[in-house]
Structure 1
């Protein structure tokens, strides 16, 4: 009996301590500038932080950072370099450049709202809206909206999706620093239909994922020498027969996912344990190196 009582007290104490600990999102969200360290991506894309991140200038020759009030235009130096490369490339396809959405917070880490990922400075959202001008005011950047490239029935792209969109995506996927790009499934379907048979290798990096119909999400590989960065699982080229992801798995997104096959009623399964959102993480959930990143002046 005494042992059970002691165990209960210990469990209650631990639970109380966990509840009392501030969330990592509140701690990282309060930081307004980067840490004074050498640039490093630490942990995984959805459970980590970023040391020595660099702020993307609000406006450049071929880009503008959007939603400046969020202070999420910080990334690993390689991410900033990638944005500069891709935005310049976009001008070759008739765009003025790129409107750049969220990258990371000044020190990465979990966010108070929105993303589960974007924590280590290697993710960037790029708007589907082709820029018509690159002199937007701060107010305009808060109020302007991107465009939806997905049809109402979610099975195909709509008239907003153009050859230029496809060209920009191909350019992004062809960049050796890129690991994968998340797009709304109809975009992947369209690219699989229109890409030349002899030039489909880049499509393996284009990943169909729900949402992503107003922007595409680029995820960079762990930079060379990134000791604390956790790489992603193998890419589609190693998992798909075709090597481009244009197979039955993709077709599932626009068939069974949107119109699940009818099956006979079954006994309800036991509910799966609720997964914690990164917003609920405490510092104990993150790599220990993130404590140093957070406490740096």
Structure 2
């Protein structure tokens, strides 16, 4: 007999909490194995932006993330990029999702849609609007009907901020950014190819200055990342043939992630 499990049964303990803990913001653990104390909510609408799918309650973040997003959107408004749609940041106390995200656990990750309306959307439109793909997945090329210089400018604006550790985009989007002529290109090193990010980009901030509970992100490799590394993501890429004998290594089971002890306190507080 099949037993249907309800969403509440499948939900993690973190998904059941609707309010952040009290106190100052603190990101605990790693981006993919941690939690958030003293989370702050991003107002659902502000200068140059709106929160999409707010009913999911994933618009909480570290105070530094909230400030970063508000400043980024204000700058984008001044540059007349358009009305930016902000997706998931984190749950009220961060922590693990039952599905959808491996990271976004410490309030230092945020998804920003690449569909950029010219004007703020109505409440009804916010509930029904769909994502706009920037990549033709089958052809492995940019969707020229949807991609404009505004998407490129928004990513550049975010990546140029010193608070940003990495930005994840689909490899084809990274390829498109590499082809674009820029006066400064050093920010491109932060833009990392990752499948799945074809309609949004994922911003990850560095651990806040002075933080002792946050596990930092490894710095990106040197260079702009527009060469062999990027090419290796292509389905047509052929890796150089190795002449050395290949030694088979028995795959080891992945260790079970154990949350930092402080997260138990955050969860129960």
SS of residue matched to 1:232: coil
Question: Given the alignment of the two structures, is residue 134 of structure 1 paired with residue 129 of structure 2, yes or no?
Answer: no
TM-score normalised per structure 2: 0.87
Question: Given the alignment of the two structures, is residue 259 of structure 1 paired with residue 222 of structure 2, yes or no?
Answer: no
Which residue number corresponds to residue 209 of structure 2?
A: 224
Superposition deviation, residue 38 in structure 1: 1.7
SS of residue matched to 1:246: coil
String of CA shifts for 1:213-253, please: whole Å, max 9, x gaps. Answer: 0100000000011111000112223xxxxx11111111111
Please, which of 96, 103, 108 is the counterpart of residue 122 of structure 1?
108
Superposition deviation, residue 152 in structure 1: 3.8
Q: Residues of 2 paired with 1:195 and 1:225: CA distance?
A: 37
Superposition deviation, residue 89 in structure 1: 1.7
Superposition deviation, residue 275 in structure 1: 4.6
Which residue number corresponds to residue 201 of structure 1?
A: 186
Please, which of 160, 164, 167 is the counterpart of residue 153 of structure 2?
167
String of CA shifts for 1:58-84, please: whole Å, max 9, x gaps. Answer: 111211111112100000011011111
Q: Residues of 1 paired with 2:186 and 2:137: CA distance?
A: 30
Mapping for residues 65-104 of structure 1, pairs under 5 Å: 65-104=51-90
Superposition deviation, residue 199 in structure 1: 1.5
String of CA shifts for 1:50-107, please: whole Å, max 9, x gaps. Answer: 0001001111121111111210000001101111111112224433331000000000
Question: Given the alignment of the two structures, is residue 189 of structure 1 paired with residue 175 of structure 2, yes or no?
Answer: yes
String of CA shifts for 1:138-176, please: whole Å, max 9, x gaps. Answer: x43232112100024353211111111111111100011
Aligned residues: 254
SS of residue matched to 1:253: coil
Q: Residues of 2 paired with 1:154 and 1:47: CA distance?
A: 35
Which residue number corresponds to residue 266 of structure 1?
A: none
Q: Residues of 1 paired with 2:224 and 2:79: CA distance?
A: 23
TM-score normalised per structure 1: 0.79
Q: Residues of 2 paired with 1:251 and 1:88: CA distance?
A: 35
Which residue number corresponds to residue 38 of structure 1?
A: 24
Question: Given the alignment of the two structures, is residue 293 of structure 1 paired with residue 230 of structure 2, yes or no?
Answer: no
- Contact 2:81 2:154 (8 Å CA) reproduced: no
Please, which of 210, 218, 234 is the counterpart of residue 233 of structure 1?
218
String of CA shifts for 1:14-42, please: whole Å, max 9, x gaps. Answer: xxxxxxxxx99621111001001221000
Question: Given the alignment of the two structures, is residue 48 of structure 1 paired with residue 25 of structure 2, yes or no?
Answer: no
If you compute each CA radius of gyration, which structure gives the higher value, 1 or 2? 1
Which residue number corresponds to residue 245 of structure 1?
A: 225
- Contact 1:93 1:168 (8 Å CA) reproduced: no
The CA RMSD measured in Å over matched residues stands at: 2.4
Please, which of 128, 131, 137 is the counterpart of residue 143 of structure 1?
128
